[in-house]
Amino acid sequence: MIELEQILKKNNVKPTAMRLLVLQFLLNKKSAISLTDVEEYFVKSDRTTLYRTLKTFVESELAHKIDDGTGVTKYALCEENCHCEIDTDLHLHFHCKLCNETSCLTDHKIPNISLPKNFIAEDVNLVVKGICNKCNSN
């Protein structure tokens, strides 16, 4: 528990009860989760609070925001020492159309992309859709 507090403090986020709980929840999830997921888990808490909690996490580089193409924003904790930097920290996301889960393939960094002249890249989003290993083996 104390560890959780440390994580938040390290990123200059005040460790409120709500934030600790949401952080814990995210830690337990292997796949990326949506605001609705969090909302369904913390029924007693308000949607807005959860929304802002996630927003705070993203702004303080504790979590990253994932657009997996489903139209619903997903969130996942950053890896240790992640600064959400292009070329080094950004990885591939995989969305399974069967189980509907979006997972972070953190080992799969985004390949180097050459852009036409005068284009400046600031962020890259790479999402692969298909069938994940779990669903494939069933």
User: Where does this chain bind a second copy (CB under 8 A)?
Assistant: 67, 69, 71, 92, 94, 97, 105, 107-108, 111, 113-133, 136-137
**Residue 84: closest CA among 101, 109, 113:** 109
For the window 52-71, what string marks contact with DNA as x by the rule CB under 7 A?
Answer: xx-xx--------------x
60 contacts which partner out of DNA, a second copy, none, CB within 5 to 8 A by kind?
none
Q: Which is nearer to DNA, 52 or 108 (CB)?
A: 52
Only one of the segments 9-17, 76-84, 93-101, 119-127 lies at the binding site for DNA (rule: CB under 7 A); that segment is 9-17
Interface residue with DNA among 9, 10, 30, 47 (CB under 7 A) is: 47
88 contacts which partner out of DNA, a second copy, none, CB within 5 to 8 A by kind?
none
User: Pairing relation of β-strands 63-67 and 102-109?
Assistant: unpaired
Place of tokens 């962020």: 123
**What span, in angstroms and rounded, lies between the C-alpha atoms of 69 and 46?**
26
Residues with Cβ within 8 Å of 49's Cβ and at least 6 positions away in sequence, in order, are 18
Residue numbers at the binding site for DNA (CB under 7 A): 13-14, 16-19, 34-36, 45-49, 51-53, 55-56, 71-73
